[in-house]
Every structure is written in structure tokens, then in C-alpha cells.
Chain A
Amino acid sequence: MNRLYELPAWRAAEQIRCGELSAEEYVAHLLDRIGEVEPRVRAFITLLDRENLLGQARLIDKRVKAGEKLGRLAGIPIAVKDNICTLGVRTTCASRMLENYVPPYDATVVERLKAEDAILLGKTNMDEFAMGTSTETSYFGPTRNPWNLERVPGGSSGGSAAAVASGMTPLALGSDTGGSIRCPASFCGVVGLKPTYGLVSRYGLVAYANSLEQIGPITFNVRDCSLLLSIIAGRDPKDATTINAEESYEASGGSLKGFRIGLVRELLGEGTHPAVLEAVHRFAGKLEEAGAELGEVSLPILEYALPAYYIIAMSEASSNLARYDGIRYGFRAEGEGLDWSREFSLTRSLGFGEEVKRRIILGTYALSAGYFDRFFLKAVKAATLIRRSLLEAFKNYTLLLAPTMPIPPFKLGEKIRDPLALYLCDVDTVPVNLAGVPAISLPAGFHEGLPLGAQLIGPPLGEQTLLKAAASYEEVSPESFRRPPI
């Protein structure tokens, strides 16, 4: 097969395990594909050495021949967002601050992938410290959308989504604080799932906004998404906020009879691009075709989601990012005769990019005496109300449906000078993080050759239901699951 890179991960894994496909051949093929498209897409910050990767693959083949029992991802390469710690492989968060930072430990999710014999392919580009919607704030330069190299891939997990879409890897991990998995999945035309808060361990995920973010899968198809989620989900003694997961997640598909899908009125109004509206309604039609019943739900409280999200995220970020002072690791500004306080300032002024500094300053402000009650506490209350109204909606609806992004992928440089315009792009994704519920973004057709996405939102721990609906949709919408012509 000369387009081996299009093989779903679950099938490749099966074939490798039973010796039908050699892991070495598979990995070599993907590396060739990377050689072909990566110079144009720039999805990776760090790629592991070819010989090292092929060596790992050969070892898998040897173990297959020896009749050993292998893990569920034996011989399958995976790309990991560069804010997830990898033992011995630099983890930069796309920041000058951590340009040469090599973690001494693996994130729990990485440990779990390795325990299933997956092969770490490389670390993907992102917005600096996951702060952004376009992967343009990366210190290492932007990633390009494989559907149109003039367009952004979305963010902040833009590298992971672009790598999956362009066939450089079948699987990738992203992180989603306010839409950072779903946005690039939507812009690149792939599947991205943000799990229920606490379902996946954050141990080893470099924190941006702890109370909102989750690591999740970015894949080309729903079954791979289920497989990857099954491996990374579940309680971790190293993360006190984790909860128990299902034994495994199935992408069973089939009829959606008995499913009630609620279209969220507030996310389908003004400000949403007509092509996106059309795509979401088409998406709804497909679900109906599969047997689901449609309805409309109104959640007026969502008006407060965007400000609440930014206040909480920036506040937490201002504290999380305080540790980067140049003493223990990372970038350090060399200044003569500076006391520690000025040394810290200089290091942080030079080590952080503009957007990161903006969020640190705004977050510091929101937590300051006199503003804490007016901003931070109010935002937390708004988050509680949003969660409550979503839970209320789930009494009548199995799942909710909304656009992932209000607009199609935009051009590089188009919005980067206008932070507020960029923040507004997160309006559809942030309610999910504030409520701590799961959501999956799925390809929903195209506009002028650019992919569009729609997201299904589930109740807490509703991943199994989400994946079933996603798989049913996938069955009836093959035209939306396409590879970019790169």
C-alpha cells in the first residue's frame, strides 16, 4: 500500500501484532511522509531521531516474532503536544523560556502509552504555553494548515492536529484548556476529544489553567479516538483531581434511536459564519438520519462564558507561570550585578512571548486585592452557573450540538495583532471547560476547500455516549473525513 499512512491506528496495531505488517516498515513509511510534508507544515518542534525510531520498531517486530504479548499500540507512532513532559526529550511549551528544557520524568499519559508499546514520534508545535487559538504564538514559528498553507491550523494544539491531518502520525495528544484540542481538530478536519475534567491525568502536563484543562486524543477517525482515550483515561495517584474511567471506550456506531440532540441556540446566532451554521445543521441532519431526535436548547448564561473563562485561565496562569525565574531550569537572562528581583524580571521579560506576558499581567490583576471578589470570584460563580445550566439541559437531551469554531480557518497573521478578536473565537469551546464536561469535535464538511467542525457535548463522564454518536455520524458522513491534498 503506497498510502500506508492513511491506515487507521487500530488496524495498523492489529496487523503489527499478528505479523501482517512490520512495525519497521510502518514507521519508515511515516517518516518518509514526514520528510515529504513537514518542511511545509512545520507541525513538530522536536522529532526523534530516525534510527532511534526504527530501532524501537525493529524491537517490536522481534517481540512479535518471539510470540510475546504486546500492548494495544505496539509499533504505533504517536505525536505528543510539547507541553506534555517526556523523559529525556525536551519539552518546550513552544517557549524560549523552556527552549532547552529536558524533563527528568514522563507524564502519566506518556507512561501509559509506553506501557502499550507505542512509539513516541516527536513533540508538536503549539501556542506558547498553550495560550492561543492559532499556533502563531509559538517561539519556534507557526504551524501551517495542511489544507491551505496560508491558513492557521487552529490552536493551541495546532501541531498535533496538522500532523494527524497530513498523515505524519495516526495518533496525537493535545491539551484543551478552552478549546485547544477541538479548535485545531476543527480547522484541520480531524477528530479531537476533550474529556471530562479529571478523567485523564494532568501529571506531566505543564499547567496553563489547572482547573480547566485536560489532555485528550487527536486522531483521524473515531475508533482511534476511543482506543487512545481507553489507554490514557483513569485515576492516577499522582493527580488528586482524577476520577475512575470505564474499562475501555468503544466506537460502536449504529443507530442513534433514543438519542435526543439539543442544538445550543446561543452558539448558533450572530457572529457565527454562515458556512459554519450550514455545516452544523447538515451535521444535525446526519444525526437525525442515524435515528436521533433533534431539539433546540437555550442557555442564556453562556453570555458570561468567555469573560469567566479568560479571568479564571489568566488568574491561574499568572500563578502557574511564576516558577519560570531562571534559577532551577530554563532560560536565564545574564545580567551583571543584578539582585534576584531584577534578574527574575529580566529573565521573564525576555523568556516569555507577548501573549504569555499579557495573560500573566491580566491574571495578576484579576487576583489582586480589591479585584479578587469582583473578577476571580465572580468568574468562578459564573462557571458554577454554567455547569448547572448544562446539567439541567442534559436532563432533556442526551447530547448537545454546537459549532466548534464560529468561523472557518483564518489566514496566518490575520488576527494575531488583535488579541480580542482571537479571544472571541473561543466562544463556542470555553463553556465546556468551565462546566468540566466532555466534548468531541468532528469534521463537518468544507467551505472553500477548508474544513469546518462541529462539536458534540456530553454530560460528565458521557464519553461513551459521545463516542457512539460520533461513530454513527462517521458512518453516514464519509465525505467529511478526508485527507488534505498535500
Chain B
Amino acid sequence: MRAVEAAAEGLKVRIGLEVHCQITSLKTKLFCSCPSDYRGKPPNSHVCPVCLGLPGSLPVLNWKAVEYAVMAALALNCKVSRRTLFMRKNYFYPDLPKNFQISQYDRAGGAPIGSDGYLEFMVEKKRKTVRIRRVHLEEDPGKLSYKGAIDTSPYTLVDYNRAGIALLEIVTEPDMENPREARAFLQKLRSTLEHLGIFNGGLEGAMRCDANISLEGGGRVEIKNISSFKDVEKALSFEVVRQRDLLKKGIAVRSETRHWDENRRITVSLRVKEEEQDYRYFPEPDLTPIEISEETIRRLQSEMPELPDARRERFIRQYGLPPYDAEVLTSDRAMADFFEDCVKLCGKPKAAANWLMGDVLQVLYSLNQDLAESKLTPAYLAELIGLMDKGEISIKIAKKVLWETMKTGKPPSLVVEEKGWKRIADENKLRSIVEKVFSENVKAVEDALRDPKAAHYLVGKVMEATGGMADPETTYRLISERLKALRGSAS
């Protein structure tokens, strides 16, 4: 390995994220009363003069969005600005109805709603802190779609249904050192916003992310158009390899903006940054300054729901869970809620945690679903745990039942019933099967009479005859009794 290559291997990676989260719990857009549930609606049907930026229209602030943004800022340990402004960010782009975006800015007399915060999270069982530079409020642009890839599409279509949706922009310092940390940060951010009740990360495109990444000695590369946690990790990993390869060959990594093509799983160069783009920010003259009073901040603070960290500690305390389990469960609000609802019904925290973190996640993964859209309910999981607990099904069967329930939505007890998977514990029924096995396996019975360990073979035969449904304990007892009786009659 040449020296330049060796050096490239050990280069320090710095990753920063710019995350855009829609405030999905708002019923209307940020500056007009168009409904915000645009998903699945015909293109350009959720629009009005304001969000289309028609001549003469004016924005009117949805105050609830400001309160939610303040809550997010507080949850991310930010300082909250008492007085802030909306600014115009001026640039031409076909997805912007006005060719400027109403946003916030930390210069030119402006201030973001929140600044100088941090977020802590676990990654590979270690605690990591990432600093938050700012949290601000802005309007979502419309959505562009291409035929095929961005760089080869013969046309671009624009849907303004999304234009004007309230968006939180959360910008980190470049504190992450590998793609995995970036993914873990986003997971924790999502869980935090979901716990605040202002965000549903399960909605398509609700959380989008631009990442910037630089390797020691190389230029800063910005990656746009990343729409999932998995893709953040993939896109960044792609970049680490690409940039490292360049540096290994002694080629400079230029500062540029690249586009993540999720179909081809590569980044493609969009534009080379010669200098910082000039957005010509200035105060939005159609909106009055936002005053956030001390009382408002205090009230929001006092109304703040339990956040993931507090919930994790409570899970450890209240349910006696290991810290790792508590961390995993609370990294996803839907999962933590599911867990608690389930425990309320079955009273078995450890069992519920094991099922959720193990088999349930696995089945979700194969069905390509998340918990929110799954047919599994806390009651079903509690029922499943109960069935096992009462000995009505074995662990092996329970796994099959779970799969069936999650696929069909049928309650576990019904699945057991329909499939005939119920454990046979009825002694009379089992006794007749034992009789039959004894009469068909004379040699094995003789062996067992000599050597009690050989009785297991007979148990296996009973299992075989019942398709695994025989209760093993009862079966064993009945076989032992029968053997004992035979011994007695022989002597």
C-alpha cells in the first residue's frame, strides 16, 4: 500500500445533517388554510391562491406551527428566541411557487426559533452527543417528479399540493463520524419529535434530509434528496468510499452538491459550488414579527410530554428491563407505545420486549411494513404471550401464529383454533395415543423398560403422531406411568 493510500484509510470523516420534518400533526398548511393531508390526493388539488403564490395573495401565519416549533426546540435543548422574523430566501426553482421560500435566517436581523442545542443518542452501545445549530420554521416547496432519473428525464412535473406545508428545519454541527451515527441520530430525532406528538415519521416524505460530508483534506460535499434512514446510511457510505478512493489516488475531492439516486444507489453531481449561493435574505414584509413570550415558553415546557430519554429510564425502573431493551424500545414511539399497551394487558414486560425486538421486527421487515401499519395489535401480542404462558402453545408454534396473525390480521387464538395448533393436554386423548405408540413400537418399549432415557424416543413418537401438538410434560408423565405399570406387571 502506497503512503497516500494508507493515509486515506485512516482519514477522519465529518458528517452534518440538515433535516426537514413536516409538522404532520397540523391540519392546515403554514400560511393558508389548505388541508395538509395531501398524500394520495390528485396532483394540484390541495392548493389555493396563497400556496400557489398567485399574484396579490398574502401569507397568514398558522400560530400553532410556531408553538410546535418551540416545543421541538425545547426538546432539542435549544435556546428559544423571544423575538423572531420570517425572512424570504430568494432563489429560482420550479418547485417554489413564488421563487422565494418563506423561511428563517440567523443573520440580516433574523433569528431561528431555536439555536445552540444538542441531542444525545446511543450508537453501538455508546452514548453520542450531536450539537444542534438551529431549529427553524419554513414552508415546504412543491414536489417535482421526473421520468426516470433526474439527469435524463425529458420533462419535469410539478405538484404544489405539498407547497406550503409547515416544515421544521433542523441543522446539526458536523459532529457525526460515520454513516451509522447519522442514521442513529435521525432515528432518535424522529422518536423525539414523535413523542412530542407533532410528527409522524411513518408518512412518506415527512422527514427528508440533506447530508454534508467531508473527509480530512477533501472538499465538503452536500448530498440532496435522501428520503429514508436507510438511504442516509447508504448514500453516506457511498460517499465515504468514493471520496476515499479519490484521495487514495491523490485526486482532490471538490466541494459540490450531489443528488442521491435511490434507484441506482449512487450519488450524481448536480452542481459544483464555486461560492456560497446568495439567497438575498430579507425580512418578509407581509408577516409581522413573531413574539414568543416567557409565559408561552413556560406553558409549553410544562405541557411537554415524556420524551424518549425519560421514557427509557422509566422502562428500566418500572418494567425492570435491561438498559439496552429500554433504549431500543424507546427509539421508536410507535414501538414504545405498543410495548406499554401490551404490557398493560399481559403483565409480562420482558416477554413483550423480547417478542417486539425479535420476531415482531423480523416479520415486519419481511412484510416490508412498520408497526403502525401492521395488523398486529398490542392485544394480539398480549394474547399470544398469554397462550404460551398457559401452555396452550409452544414457542415454536407461537412463532408460526405470530406470522399468521401479522399476515392475516386474525387474532392468535383464532389462528390456533383454525390451524389446529392447540397443544393436546387432554389426558384421555393423549393416553389413547400413547397406547397406540406403545403397541406400534414394541422394541422401543422394551428398550425403555431397560433404560429410562430411551423413553424420549417414545415421547418423540407421540409428538410425531400429534403433529407436535401434544403437551410434552403430560406426554412424558403418561409414558412414564405406562412404563412403570409395565414394569410392575412384569415383576
Residues of A within 8 A of B (CB): 83-85, 91, 93, 98, 101, 103-105, 107, 202-207, 209-211, 237-241, 315-316, 318-319, 322-323, 325, 327-329, 340-341, 344, 364, 367-369, 372, 376-377
Contact = CB atoms under 8 A, between A and B. Distances in A.
Given A105-B57, A238-B58, 10 more contacts: A91-B55, A206-B55, A207-B286, A240-B61, A316-B282, A325-B92, A325-B99, A329-B54, A372-B108, A377-B108
A482 B468 CA distance: 109
A319 B286 contact: no
Given A319-B280, A372-B108, A327 B158 contact: yes
Contacts of B54: 103-105, 328-329
Interface in B152-199: 156, 158
B39 to A, nearest CB: 22
A333 to B, nearest CB: 15
A364 B280 contact: yes
Given A319-B100, A328-B97, A369-B278, A241 B55 contact: no
Contacts of A202: 56, 58, 286
Nearest to A209: B285
Contacts of A372: 108, 280-282
Interface in B45-98: 49, 52-61, 88, 90, 92, 94, 97-98
A344 B282 contact: no
27 contacts: A91-B56, A98-B55, A105-B49, A105-B54, A105-B57, A107-B56, A202-B58, A207-B286, A210-B285, A237-B60, A239-B286, A240-B59, A240-B60, A240-B288, A318-B280, A319-B280, A322-B90, A323-B55, A325-B92, A327-B94, A327-B158, A328-B97, A340-B94, A340-B156, A344-B92, A369-B278, A376-B282
Given A319-B282, A322-B99, A322-B100, A367 B56 contact: no
B53 to A, nearest CB: 5
A85 B49 CA distance: 11
Contact of B55 (A93, A240, A341): A93
A368 B61 contact: no
Contacts of A369: 276, 278, 280
Contact of A319 (B88, B156, B158): B88
A84 B100 contact: no
Contact of B280 (A210, A239, A368): A368
B287 interface: yes
Interface in B275-298: 276, 278, 280-282, 285-288
B252 to A, nearest CB: 26
A61 to B, nearest CB: 32
Contact of A210 (B90, B100, B286): B286
Interface bracket on B: 20 to 34
A328 B278 contact: no
A204 B56 contact: yes
Interface string B134-157: 000000000000000000000010
B109 interface: yes
A210 B60 CA distance: 14
A209 B108 CA distance: 19
A340 B153 CA distance: 13
Contacts of A364: 280
A377 B109 contact: yes
A444 B217 CA distance: 74
B7 to A, nearest CB: 36
Contacts of A322: 90, 92, 98-100
B57 A203 contact: yes
Q: Which of A83, A323, A367 has the most CB of B within 10 A?
A: A323
Contact of A328 (B52, B92, B156, B280): B52
B56 A205 contact: yes
Nearest to B61: A240
Contacts of B57: 105, 203-204
Contacts of A318: 90, 280
Contacts of B108: 372, 377
A341 B92 contact: yes
A85 B57 CA distance: 9
Contacts of A103: 49, 54-56
B90 A367 contact: yes
A319 B90 contact: yes
Contacts of B287: 240-241
A131 B287 CA distance: 23
